[in-house]
């Protein structure tokens, strides 16, 4: 099982590279069980989106 720290790194990397199937499944499993990491994922997605919109 991935730790939250590992998840945080993989979430960031998922914005930069294609994750392996093992990594992807590991993330899904972790998200299913960890609310904090689900919020973290949403925050990273928000930051990504904000950068695309800057400085609207």
Q: Closest CB to other proteins among 25 and 43?
A: 43
Is the distance from CB of 56 to CB of 27 less than 8 angstroms? no
Backbone Cα Rg of the chain: 12
- Minimal distance, residue 21 CB to other proteins, in Å: 19
Rounded to the nearest 10°, the torsion over CA 27, 37, 39, 54 is: -70
In this complex, which beta carbon is closest to other proteins, that of residue 24 or of residue 46? 46
List interacting residues with other proteins (CB under 8 A): 3-6, 8-9, 12-13, 15-17, 35-37, 39-40, 42-44, 46-56
């Amino acid at each position: 099982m991935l730790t939250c720290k590992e998840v945080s790194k993989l979430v960031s990397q998922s914005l930069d590279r294609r994750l392996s199937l093992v990594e992807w499944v590991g993330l899904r499993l972790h998200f299913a069980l960890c609310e904090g990491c689900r919020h973290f994922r949403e925050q990273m997605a928000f930051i990504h989106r904000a950068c695309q919109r800057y400085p609207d």
